[in-house]
Amino acid sequence: MNIHEYQAIGLFRAAGIPVSSGDVAVTSDEAKKIAGRLGFPVVLKAQVLTGGRGKAGGIKVVKDERELVKQFTAIKNLTIKGYAVERIFVVKALDIRKEFYLAITVDAVKGDAVVIASSAGGVDIEETAKTEPEQIHKFYLERNAQLDMKRWSGFRKKIFKDEKMGKEVDPVLQAMVKLFFEKDCSLVEINPLVIDGQGKLIAADAKVNFDDNALFRHPDIQDLRDMKYEDTDELEAKENGLSFVKLDGKVGCIVNGAGLAMATLDVIKLLGGEPANFLDVGGSSNPEKVLNALKIILRNKKTKSILINIFGGITRCDDIANGLLEARKQLKFDIPLVVRLTGTNEKEAKEILARAGVSTFPTMREGVQQAVKLAK
Ligand code: GDP
Ligand code: MN
């Protein structure tokens, strides 16, 4: 889960990371009031859950009320990467002298948390990684979730050359590490981390992402969720105990088990098709789940065929078959179903389906082949 900059700044403030003061506004009158309190110049920052707002014209420094109103309206009318701007963060402008990049994220390959730091901040870090990889430095954190200050202070000299400045970075990073582990984050990023005219260190932007699978431990974080950015199908799936991810292709699929579901997507691609979704109905064989899964899949008008791929262990194939027929009766759709099931109560399932005129395929490959053919 991703949150807005102003929300992330709130977490930073609570964690003791220095940030610029400010507040979020929906109308230009609200923005005027906030600016009146802060004093000009202020920065207007579009709150959309995507990066590159600066480049898109979503960040503007304004020096008086007249400029504020003009730029507020301009930003309000922007659509940044498909998202309309609804809220604008109004913050006291910083006198920026130098911009750094500092973040903590997960290195999925190593399975460790890693600090990424660069003295080339402010700009797109992915771009820097391509053009000047030597500018990006990585520092792996210990498994005990603590920052080893001795090891870190040796490392940080590479980025923060000035020793006095470096000492100011230490508590910032310590607070970031604490936030990262306490709130089960997948990313805590400051870009840019700024040195201002007084030589003070300030986080001028904040990006925090959370591990969805750990959200149940953090009701306070769940409350920050902006529903406008959520895929309603994915949320509905989650509420019904299904793991669903929408994709771009035409072959819909319902599979039991995440591993088999991923293998199914691979085989669909291998045989020349494109999957319309990932869907794991999980281990139990509640017929209701098949019904709910089909409801969600059928909403995607791009879907031209639906593959049911079941490996019956705990899941009983006959339950799946009954669920399918019930769903077909209730939902009345004419998209062809391709069924491959094997394992527990396979024979009963095939009989149930045969009686209803639904044929089944003995192997995954044959089933996928048919689903891909029907989608073309
Ligand atoms: P992003 O483009 O979505 O990453 O948004 P940022 O919050 O990082 O802002 C983009 C850029 O705007 C920063 O790298 C700064 O150069 C500039 N910027 C942001 N805040 C201020 C500020 O308070 N004063 C000045 N002068 N520039 C700012
Ligand atoms: Mn930024």
2 within some domain: no
Q: What separation in Å is there between the alpha carbon of 100 and the centre of ligand 2? A: 10
Q: From atom 16 of ligand 1, which residue's Cα is the shortest distance away?
A: 122
Would you call 140 a catalytic residue per the annotation?
no
Whether residue 170 sits in one domain with residue 114 = yes
CA distances from 220 to 3, 4, 20, 216, 217 (A): 12, 15, 23, 10, 9
Identify whether residues 249 and 357 lie together within a single domain. yes
The CATH number given to whatever domain includes residue 179 is 3.30.470.20
State the average pLDDT over residues 89-118: 96
By most ligand atoms within 8 Å of CB, the mutation choice from 94, 205, 207, 208 for ligand 1 is 205
Catalytic residue among 101, 229, 326, 348: 101
CA 4 – ligand 1 centroid, Å: 15
Within a domain: 12:
no
Residue 8 domain flag = no
Measured CA to CA in angstroms, residue 206 lies from 17, 45, 122, 318, 328 at distances of 10, 12, 12, 51, 48
Mean pLDDT of 291-298: 93
Spatial separation of the C-alpha atoms in residues 2 and 214, rounded to whole Å: 13
Do residues 235 and 364 both lie within one domain? Answer: yes
Give the pLDDT confidence score for residue 51 in this predicted structure: 84
Q: Which ligand is nearest to the CA of 98?
A: 1
160 vs 239 pLDDT, higher one = 160
Q: Is 236 in the same domain as 368? A: yes
**Residue 71 — very low, low, confident or very high, per pLDDT cuts 50/70/90?**
very high
Indicate if ligand 1 lies below 6 Å from the C-beta of 93: yes
Residue whose CA lies nearest to ligand 1 atom number 20: 204
Same domain, 262 and 367: yes
Tell me whether strands 207-210 and 185-196 are parallel, antiparallel or unpaired. Answer: antiparallel
Whether residues 199 and 185 fall in one domain: yes
Average pLDDT of the chain to the nearest whole number: 94
DSSP state of 320: H
**Does 336 lie in the same domain as 256?**
yes
pLDDT of residue 224: 94
**CA–centroid distance, residue 9 to ligand 2 (Å):** 12
Among candidate residues 67, 92, 117, the one where a domain is terminated: 92
Q: Are residues 265 and 335 in the same domain?
A: yes
Percent of the chain with pLDDT strictly greater than 70 = 99
Task: Determine whether the shortest distance from the Cβ of 22 to ligand 1 is under 6 A.
Answer: no
Round to whole Å and give the CA distance between 25 and 114. 34
In a domain, 308, yes or no: yes
Q: What is the pLDDT of residue 232?
A: 81
212-227 tens-digit pLDDT: 999 999 999 999 998 8
What is the position in ligand 1's atom list of the atom closest to the CA of 121?
Answer: 14
41, 67, 92: which is the final residue of a domain?
92
Residue 90 confidence (pLDDT) above 80: yes
CB of 43 sitting under 6 A from ligand 1: yes
Q: How far is the CA of 269 from the centre of ligand 2 (A)?
A: 36
Determine, yes or no, domain membership for 1.
Answer: no
Which residue among 12, 48, 96 has the greatest number of ligand 1 atoms within 8 angstroms of its CB, and so is best to mutate? 96
How do beta strands 42-46 and 22-25 pair? unpaired
- The residue-averaged pLDDT of 107-135 equals 92
pLDDT digits (tens, 9 = 90+) for 338-367: 999 999 999 999 999 999 988 899 899 999
For 79, the domain range is: 21-92
Q: Which of 189, 236, 239, 366 is catalytic?
A: 189
pLDDT tens digits for 180-203? 999 999 999 999 999 999 999 999
Are 276 and 307 a contacting pair, CB within 8 Å? no
Question: In the chain, which ranges are E strands?
Answer: 22-25, 42-46, 59-62, 79-80, 83-84, 88-92, 96-107, 112-118, 136-140, 185-196, 201-203, 207-210, 243-246, 251-255, 277-280, 305-312, 337-343
- Model confidence at 54, in pLDDT bands (50, 70, 90)? very high
- Residue whose Cα lies nearest atom 15 of ligand 1: it is 122
**CB-based burial of residue 45 (10 Å sphere; 0-12 exposed, 13-18 middle, 19+ buried)?**
buried
Residue nearest to atom 9 of ligand 1 (CA): 54
Q: Are residues 201 and 247 in the same domain?
A: no
Answer whether residue 259 is part of any domain.
yes
Same domain, yes or no: 259 and 135: no
- The answer to whether residue 13 sits within a structural domain is no
pLDDT at 144: 84
Do both 184 and 315 map to the same domain?
no
Catalytic residue check, 189: yes
Burial 102-112 (b: 16+ CB within 10 A, else e): bbbbbeeeeee
Facing residues of 116 across strands?
103, 138
What's the pLDDT tens digit per position in 248-292? Answer: 999 999 999 999 999 999 999 999 999 999 999 987 667 888 899
Same domain, 119 and 70: no
The residue behind tokens 């491959």 is 340
Q: What is the pLDDT of residue 52?
A: 86
Query: What pLDDT, on the 0 to 100 scale, is given for residue 238?
Result: 85
Please give the number of the atom of ligand 1 that sits closest to the Cα of 51.
Answer: 3
pLDDT score at 226: 87
Tell me whether residue 324 is exposed, middle or buried, using C-beta atoms within 10 angstroms of its C-beta: 0 to 12, 13 to 18, 19 or more.
buried
Rg (CA), the chain: 26
pLDDT computed for residue 248 by the predictor: 92
Q: What is the mean pLDDT of residues 175-180?
A: 97
Rounded Cα–Cα distance for residues 76 and 371 (Å): 45
Domain final residue, candidates 188, 203, 222: 222
pLDDT reported for residue 285: 67
The domain total for the chain is 3
Show the tokens assigned to 27: 């109308």
Q: Is residue 192 part of a domain?
A: yes
Q: How far apart are CA 152 and CA 166, in angstroms?
A: 10
